[in-house]
Each structure stands twice: as structure tokens, then as C-alpha cells.
């Protein structure tokens, strides 16, 4: 198929009702999510109150919002959602997208795949035609782009599960499911390792296939209920917030246009304009088509960037985010930081003094956050006139049911470590170099001497 054939196919007219529906459902979901976030007091506890944050590198020098600014950002998100609900979808999506994505990138410790998904969907809606009048006809590629994104999310989440620990050990479900042994009826079953493996395979099969089967008129009636049950189950089992509802809502975009016309007519008490391909006049510009193709290419490639880094991805996490690795690993850590001054004297740093409990939890297992913590310690000590020259950390991490082991080189100066896109994390110990605490305590004097610390 050549370019013009592809373009002809992409710009052929289709009923725009599913896009109108997606916009309404998405707007309602993000409005709920915004209100929920604010009502839980998270604007204060996650954005305003923390003494320090862990920004993505592009935002490293952006000033942090204060109370007014943070509430304004959330007010803008709510306003954007309302604009989307009220037939100003592109403007609304843009007004929502900018503050939402900004807040998302302010602090890595708040990163969630579902925030990323919401950002991408908002970005699409900022360009796609989803006003009521667009129901009369939209280009095929515009209607299908959100579907392709959803398919990609499910499929990549499935690929990420093609890991021996997920498939053969039933990890991490084997740790997570038994916690719910107090559920009525199914509780006792959840404690069996076989159940974990069964759930793992079920989840894997679901993720690999659901995104594709939803396209098929024949399969959709059977798959969508599975989508609902699957996500509701994850909502029951795990503390994952609104994500299940976002997916249950957004996947309705696969439904027929007739279906959407019907419920929208009932819900808004007004029929959508009829689909009229004969009057369809969509400027078939290259720009939108190329942008869509570019968006998809980026989405296809980004999750694979981890291949550029040696070692176990789940361990060093270089290239872990933005790749639909959802509910994939159970990782916990405990980190002790030590600052050394210009006279070679060392003190233990009290992390509780400037990190929130959530930040302490997140930071202890993610190498880039460990580095940012060390940089914060150096900066704060400089302000206090403490003369900190170097910062090291003894970090213990357990992954997927393994016992805790030493995570990073305990005698590397973390303030000197270069980390960022393309940098392999050699200072993270290989996962198979299991150093237990008792071994470390034996080796410590020798390691210290060798490192000249």
C-alpha cells in the first residue's frame, strides 16, 4: 500500500459518534479523578507540602507550584474536563492536558502508568474531532487512533508480562493475592500458589489478546465483559485508584456508532447529527496524518528503549517508565544515606526530615531517585553550611519474593554519578550478585578501604 492509498483509506469517512462518546466518557472520568485527588488532600500532601520533589530531568529547573498555583492547576484541569463535557473538546482537552502533564512530570515519585495513559488520551483529544457535529463524519484514522492506542497499551502490558517470574513463579501475584485471604468465598483460594499462576496466565492472555479482539464485531460481545470483570477484579485486589474505570470507560470506544448514538441521545436528550458521508468534507491534509503516524511510531518504539541497557530491567529500572509495565513487580527497599564532609567524617542522614513517606518508599527502589536524594542532601547541607562533599547509601531491596539484598555500590559517591537517558547504571549491583546483610557487614571494612572512603 502506497502513501496515497493509505491516505485515501485513512481519510475515508466514518461515523464520528464513538469519538464523541469517548470524549464524554473520558471527560467525566478525569473530572472525577481530579475531584477525587483534591478531596483526598493530595494536592497538599503530594504537590504543595513536600519539602523536595523528584522532577523528571526536563523539569529539573522549573519552579515548584505553591498552594495557589497548585490549586489553580487543578482548577484548570477541572475546567478543561468541563469544557470537554460541554462540546468544546479540543480546547478542553488542551486545557486539561497541559496542567495535568505538568503536575505528572513534577515528581517521579507520583508517576503512574495510568497518569501517562490519561496524558496521551488527552493529547489525542486535543486534536481529534469529537464535537457533536463531528458525528456526521470523521476520517477513519481519527476514529481509530484511540483504539490503536488502547490496543497498544494492552498488548505491551502483555509483552511486559512475558517474563519467567510472571509466567512460571506466579510472581508477584503470589505475594499479592494471599493478602486477600479475608475475602468472602474466594479468600482461601487466593492463598494457593496455583491460583497465582493461574491468575498470571489469565492476565497475560487477557493483555495480549483483549486489545485486538475488541476490534472484532464477533468477539467484542464476549471480550468486553471480560474487560469489565478483569478491571473490576484488579480494583478489588489492588489499591490502584481510578485506572480500572478509565480503561472500562475508554474501551467503549470500540462499540458500534449506533450504540453510542443511542446512549448519548438518552444522556444528553438530543440526537447526534446523522452520519452523512455524502456531505463529508474533511481536508485531507498530510499534517494530521503524519502526526498520527509519528505518534504511533513513538508509542511503538519507546517501550523498547530498555533494550539499550544491560542487566535485569526490573532491577535497575533504566527504561522502565512510560512502557506499560503495570502491576508487574513487587519491589520494596530500605535506604540509609551517609554524608561525608571535607574532613572525611561521616554522618547518617535523617530522611524523614525532608522526604514524605511516599517519597521514602519510592526512592528506596528506584536508582534515579536515589541519585536525586543524594543531590538533595548535598544541596541542603550546603545551605546549612555543613560542607558535605560526598553522599553514599546502603540500600536494601527485595524484588518479587526474593529476600533483601544490597542494591547499589555502597561506597560510590552518588552526587558524582551521571544518570540519564542512555547511561547504563553500572553502580547498581547486578541482580545475581546477591549480597545479604550479614555478608555485607563482614565485608564492609574491606569495601570501605578499597573504595578509599
Footprint on residues 61-90 left by other proteins (CB under 8 A): none
In a 10 Å sphere around its CB, with 0-12 CB exposed, 13-18 middle and 19+ buried, how is residue 336 labelled? middle
What angle do helix axes 286-301 and 3-10 make, rounded to 10 degrees?
100
Window 196-215: residues binding other proteins (CB under 8 A):
203, 207
Residue 152 makes contact with other proteins by CB under 8 A: no
Residue 428 pairs in a beta bridge with 408
Buried b (16+ CB within 10 A) or exposed e, 22-51: bbbbbbebbbebbeebbeeebbeebbbebe
From the list 72, 402, 413, 448, which residue makes contact with other proteins (rule: CB under 8 A)? 402
Please choose, out of 52-60, 250-258, 307-315, 420-428, the segment that lies near other proteins by the rule CB under 8 A: 250-258
Three-class SS state of 332: strand
Residues 105-134: x where in contact with other proteins by CB under 8 A, - otherwise, as a string: -----x-xxx--------------------
Residue 389 makes contact with other proteins by CB under 8 A: no
Three-class SS state of 212: helix
Residue 262 makes contact with other proteins by CB under 8 A: yes
Cell readout for 109 is: 515519585
Residue 258 makes contact with other proteins by CB under 8 A: yes
Q: How far is the CB of 20 from other proteins (least distance, A)?
A: 17
Residue 244 makes contact with other proteins by CB under 8 A: yes
Residue among 270 and 347 whose Cβ is closer to other proteins? 347
Residue 442 makes contact with other proteins by CB under 8 A: no
Cβ atoms of 399 and 380 closer than 8 Å: no
Cβ atoms of 376 and 335 closer than 8 Å: no
CA–CA dist 207, 156 (Å, integer): 8
From the list 7, 143, 174, 392, which residue makes contact with other proteins (rule: CB under 8 A)? 174
Window 356-375: residues binding other proteins (CB under 8 A):
357-358, 361
Residue among 69 and 437 whose Cβ is closer to other proteins? 437
From the list 93, 349, 374, 412, which residue makes contact with other proteins (rule: CB under 8 A)? 349
DSSP string of 113-135, one letter each residue: HHHHHHHHHHHHHTTS--SGGGG
Q: Which residue has the cell 486477600?
A: 180
Count of residues that interact with other proteins, criterion CB under 8 A? 80
Chain CA centroid to CA 400, Å = 19
Chain CA centroid to CA 361, Å = 17
Please choose, out of 7-15, 188-196, 368-376, 415-423, the segment that lies near other proteins by the rule CB under 8 A: 188-196
From the list 220, 305, 380, 448, which residue makes contact with other proteins (rule: CB under 8 A)? 220
Single out the residue of 48, 60, 106, 65 nearest to residue 375, CA to CA: 60
Residue 12 zone, left/alpha/beta (φ > 0; ψ -120 to 50; rest):
beta
From the list 66, 86, 187, 277, which residue makes contact with other proteins (rule: CB under 8 A)? 187
From the list 30, 326, 369, 417, which residue makes contact with other proteins (rule: CB under 8 A)? 326
Cβ atoms of 408 and 316 closer than 8 Å: no
Q: How far is the CB of 281 from other proteins (least distance, A)?
A: 29
From the list 55, 202, 241, 273, which residue makes contact with other proteins (rule: CB under 8 A)? 241
Please choose, out of 82-90, 257-265, 289-297, 424-432, the segment that lies near other proteins by the rule CB under 8 A: 257-265
Residue 221 makes contact with other proteins by CB under 8 A: yes
Single out the residue of 200, 204, 206 nearest to residue 174, CA to CA: 200
Window 34-53: residues binding other proteins (CB under 8 A):
40, 42, 46
CA–CA dist 276, 255 (Å, integer): 19
Q: How far is the CB of 286 from other proteins (least distance, A)?
A: 34
CA–CA dist 256, 224 (Å, integer): 13
Q: How far is the CB of 200 from other proteins (least distance, A)?
A: 12
From the list 28, 175, 198, 293, which residue makes contact with other proteins (rule: CB under 8 A)? 175
Residue 183 makes contact with other proteins by CB under 8 A: yes
Residue 239 makes contact with other proteins by CB under 8 A: yes
Q: How far is the CB of 443 from other proteins (least distance, A)?
A: 14
Amino acid at each position: 500500500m502506497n502513501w496515497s492509498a493509505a491516505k485515501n483509506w485513512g481519510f475515508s469517512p466514518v461515523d464520528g459518534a464513538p469519538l464523541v462518546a469517548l470524549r464524554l466518557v473520558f471527560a467525566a472520568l478525569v473530572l472525577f479523578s481530579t475531584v477525587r485527588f483534591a478531596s483526598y488532600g493530595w494536592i497538599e500532601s503530594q504537590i504543595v507540602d513536600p519539602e523536595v520533589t523528584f522532577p523528571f530531568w526536563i523539569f529539573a529547573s522549573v519552579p515548584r507550584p505553591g498552594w495557589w498555583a497548585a490549586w489553580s492547576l487543578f482548577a484548570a484541569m477541572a475546567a478543561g474536563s468541563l469544557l470537554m463535557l460541554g462540546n468544546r473538546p479540543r480546547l478542553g482537552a488542551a486545557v486539561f492536558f497541559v496542567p495535568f502533564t505538568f503536575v505528572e512530570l513534577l515528581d517521579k515519585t507520583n508517576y503512574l502508568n495510568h497518569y501517562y495513559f490519561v496524558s496521551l488520551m488527552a493529547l489525542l483529544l486535543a486534536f481529534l474531532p469529537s464535537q457533536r457535529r463531528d458525528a456526521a463524519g470523521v476520517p477513519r484514522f481519527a476514529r481509530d487512533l484511540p483504539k490503536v492506542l488502547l490496543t497498544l497499551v494492552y498488548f505491551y502490558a502483555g509483552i511486559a508480562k512475558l517474563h519467567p517470574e510472571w509466567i512460571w513463579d506466579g510472581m508477584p501475584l503470589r505475594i499479592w493475592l494471599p493478602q486477600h485471604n479475608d475475602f468472602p468465598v474466594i479468600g482461601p483460594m487466593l492463598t494457593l500458589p496455583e491460583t497465582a499462576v493461574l491468575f498470571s496466565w489469565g492476565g497475560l492472555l487477557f493483555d495480549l489478546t483483549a486489545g485486538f479482539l475488541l476490534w472484532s464485531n464477533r468477539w467484542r460481545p464476549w471480550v468486553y465483559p471480560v474487560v469489565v470483570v478483569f478491571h473490576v477484579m484488579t480494583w478489588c485486589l489492588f489499591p490502584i485508584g481510578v485506572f480500572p474505570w478509565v480503561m472500562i470507560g475508554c474501551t467503549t470506544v470500540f462499540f458500534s456508532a449506533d450504540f453510542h448514538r443511542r446512549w448519548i441521545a438518552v444522556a444528553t436528550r438530543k440526537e447526534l447529527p446523522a452520519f452523512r458521508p455524502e456531505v463529508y468534507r474533511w481536508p485531507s491534509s498530510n499534517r494530521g496524518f503524519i502526526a498520527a503516524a509519528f505518534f504511533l511510531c513513538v508509542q511503538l518504539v519507546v517501550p523498547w528503549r530498555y533494550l539499550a541497557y544491560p542487566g535485569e530491567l526490573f532491577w535497575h529500572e533504566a527504561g522502565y517508565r512510560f512502557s506499560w509495565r503495570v502491576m508487574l513487580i513487587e519491589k520494596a527497599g530500605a535506604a540509609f544515606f551517609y554524608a561525608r564532609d571535607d574532613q572525611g567524617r561521616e554522618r547518617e542522614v535523617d530522611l524523614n526530615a525532608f522526604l514524605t513517606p511516599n517519597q521514602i518508599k519510592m526512592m528506596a527502589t528506584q536508582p534515579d531517585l536515589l541519585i536525586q536524594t543524594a543531590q538533595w542532601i548535598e544541596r541542603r547541607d550546603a545551605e546549612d553550611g555543613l560542607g558535605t562533599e560526598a553522599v553514599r547509601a546502603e540500600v536494601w531491596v527485595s524484588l518479587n519474593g526474593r529476600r533483601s539484598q544490597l542494591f547499589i555500590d555502597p561506597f560510590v559517591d552518588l552526587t558524582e554519578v551521571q544518570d540519564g537517558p542512555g547511561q547504563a547504571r553500572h553502580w547498581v549491583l547486578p541482580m545475581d550478585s546477591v549480597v545479604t546483610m550479614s555478608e555485607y557487614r563482614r565485608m564492609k571494612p574491606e569495601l570501605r578501604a578499597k573504595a578509599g572512603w
